[in-house]
Structure 1
């Protein structure tokens, strides 16, 4: 007898037949089942996953889509492998642990770390999951009403490699001259992106429902799709030096058509969203919004901020230019470039560079310069300040994923 949990290894091109020992002339010869090479199926392949409703049914194509990194199960998703099917998937990852909310195998839902640990000790887990990654069931969902980042950024290159392989090795040529590159998406797109800064009052699910019902459902926006999620945007100093990352809400608008009329539809929806933010942003928990549009018509950019954000930005830039000006004067002084200028007071900053090299005071009666009382104090120091928002997580609705290796309508497994 064959074991209930085992692995049958066949050479390439080999096959076998099985029957119960009886023979019924009325039966046909049966169907040929061909097994695919399961070793090449990877966890971070977005083409293998499909979103399903909470009752386990495939979700139809909707106007809400996901960027590529979120097409693979995120840290707070529920995973379903169809009952009475076999599978084998490579879980190679750049993350030490791949977090999941729950996972269903062989008709059994495992939603706690203890239940998952017990399954891993069984004989099936080693045959179903292989690779250097480790799956970990947490049993906890996203608790932040402003949403949660997916958590697949470290494996973004794996996701894009798998996706481009399915696309023939390269991204489709965009129809616009300056396409946009949304965070978490593999290929540039024509359309619009809106990045939102938010306050603790922001509710991602409610805002998505607001946009879908009030704007996206309008007949004039037929054929247009929207993605909205929390992503981590890298922050830099002077646009060059990486500092940290901060969470933002990213909205991506694309259209499945082409032409000037399609471009106008995308631009109009983006403008409507920005107008809604200008009127109701404070009540919705949105502090600022930045829009970029790239269509066959043109490329445009618009920023909408509250007064406080504008004042803060102006203050920071003013301090920065002031410090650069003072630094330039100090540099010229130390290089001796200012000594030939008459009536310019001698500058000395004892707290910046060579403290021990204080010049001797001028001899009495000397008319070569005088002490500048305005610079006899420690120079102002820049404190750019760095605010780190520690992200919790949330998705109000549960997202399920089907077994990526099985289709009951096909003869291949």
Structure 2
């Protein structure tokens, strides 16, 4: 039976026994494009190179013609049925070969605590899990594809990671003794590394009201792995007064309904009720819902998280109100004692901008630029026609004949004018010289009038 067929059979058995599982997604296959530095598999005539200081197990499923291969100091290459290597001249495929060696990416980059690297049972449309529950919970069965090559970092969590069982390399481990022996073997060290501790043998969740995931202590490492591509920072929420559900790394826009339940409450039944009676309604099509049991102040409660995925329209708050009314009307049937609601505020101004607003702003900017261009052209025409003059900074306007020259006294803010002597014609019988000095203070309020009178 093929690897895919074995995985499907195993998942069917999980569904029949109502067991929950988490499936490991990434691999260290030679044929996976994302495992190589140029995001492509080796072409004919490529030179390939593995990290010399990294342990890695690499599965090869196809045939490859390469010119050169640099192997790691400690590792293995496993050839699947029909796979092979052959020699080829360097650059045999000019359309693909770039000339530089193709590097196998760091196999230690995959962390157990990264929610992106796990998959669970196919969820119905509109359902999701909070971040802490996207990685294996204590009651989960963990599955690594049979005969696949992979590598998982277990550290550096301070506490052991507990799961119900772990299946890898064709074996299923349900006892700590067997798992510890496997992890210490060469086969185990090629696939698992790090300072963290892995434990198996936890109890399956048999409570119809659900079970607490048990990842509260590892949530900081989950969030660190999740937010690493974002520089370790959460993206800003697009609403006022955002909410932080228990088990989530970043604030959300939406609503949280908290249910105090009785032993008769059925978690799966309530999820189905949400999907069939509420999420299928047209006004709630854009919502996503996460339902789980959480521990709060020494008692358990059901946390229902309603998240807006499109434009913030307040649909989550309206659905939260409907769930409160439903809890009041059907609480005795559903096993609900009480319910409370918290919801975020209105969208922020930035998030309220839609495409039409963007286009309106763009049109306004273009119109302003056109007006500025017309104003500049008008000023230029006035200048060329002589109706508008301007002087450069520091350039004095030439004085008209007969207008007294003056200078500003910086000490008293006084303008002192000296009248020029009057020059008589040479044939004049008399020569009279007038040398009159007078001064006055400039009143800044009437400066224009004073100059006119002078």
TM-score, normalization by structure 2: 0.53
| 2:60 equivalent in structure 1 | none
Measured in 1, the distance between the counterparts of 2:84 and 2:107 equals 28
Measured in 1, the distance between the counterparts of 2:268 and 2:303 equals 13
Structure 2 residue matching 1:273: 3-state secondary structure: helix
Aligned residues: 270
Measured in 2, the distance between the counterparts of 1:64 and 1:77 equals 18
| 1:45 equivalent in structure 2 | 114
Check the 8 A contact 1:113/1:139 in 2, yes or no: no
Superposed displacement of residue 110, structure 1: 3.4
User: Per-residue displacement from partner, 1:85-133 (whole Å, max 9, x unpaired)?
Assistant: 3222221254543111222212443345565355345331223222232
User: Per-residue displacement from partner, 1:150-191 (whole Å, max 9, x unpaired)?
Assistant: 111101111111112122331111111111111110111110
| 2:401 equivalent in structure 1 | none
The one of 84, 89, 109 aligned to 2:152: 89
Superposed displacement of residue 289, structure 1: 0.7
Structure 2 spans left out of the alignment, 5+ residues: 1-49, 55-67, 72-76, 78-82, 349-454
Q: Which deviates the most, 31-40 or 205-214?
A: 31-40
Question: Compared with structure 1, are the counterparts of its residues 21 and 268 closer, same or farther at alpha carbon in structure 2 (3 Å cutoff)?
Answer: closer
Structure 1 spans left out of the alignment, 5+ residues: 1-7, 54-58, 236-244, 299-413
| 1:10 equivalent in structure 2 | 52
Question: Compared with structure 1, are the counterparts of its residues 248 and 207 closer, same or farther at alpha carbon in structure 2 (3 Å cutoff)?
Answer: same
Check the 8 A contact 1:74/1:150 in 2, yes or no: yes
- Say whether residues 1:249 and 2:302 are aligned partners: yes
| 2:335 equivalent in structure 1 | 285
Question: Compared with structure 1, are the counterparts of its residues 23 and 49 closer, same or farther at alpha carbon in structure 2 (3 Å cutoff)?
Answer: closer
Question: Compared with structure 1, are the counterparts of its residues 22 and 184 closer, same or farther at alpha carbon in structure 2 (3 Å cutoff)?
Answer: closer
Greater Cα radius of gyration, structure 1 or 2: 2
Measured in 2, the distance between the counterparts of 1:232 and 1:131 equals 29
Check the 8 A contact 1:75/1:150 in 2, yes or no: yes
- Say whether residues 1:258 and 2:321 are aligned partners: no
Measured in 2, the distance between the counterparts of 1:22 and 1:258 equals 55
Counterparts of residues 340-379 of structure 1 (less than 5 Å): none
| 2:446 equivalent in structure 1 | none
Question: Compared with structure 1, are the counterparts of its residues 40 and 9 closer, same or farther at alpha carbon in structure 2 (3 Å cutoff)?
Answer: closer
Measured in 2, the distance between the counterparts of 1:125 and 1:23 equals 32
Structure 1 residue matching 2:70: 3-state secondary structure: coil
| 1:148 equivalent in structure 2 | 211
- Say whether residues 1:224 and 2:224 are aligned partners: no
Question: Compared with structure 1, are the counterparts of its residues 207 and 20 closer, same or farther at alpha carbon in structure 2 (3 Å cutoff)?
Answer: closer
Measured in 2, the distance between the counterparts of 1:158 and 1:204 equals 28
| 1:294 equivalent in structure 2 | 344
Check the 8 A contact 1:196/1:290 in 2, yes or no: yes
Superposed displacement of residue 272, structure 1: 1.4
Q: Which deviates the most, 123-132 or 196-205?
A: 123-132
Measured in 2, the distance between the counterparts of 1:165 and 1:20 equals 37
| 2:141 equivalent in structure 1 | 78
Measured in 2, the distance between the counterparts of 1:297 and 1:284 equals 34
| 2:326 equivalent in structure 1 | 276
Superposed displacement of residue 229, structure 1: 0.3
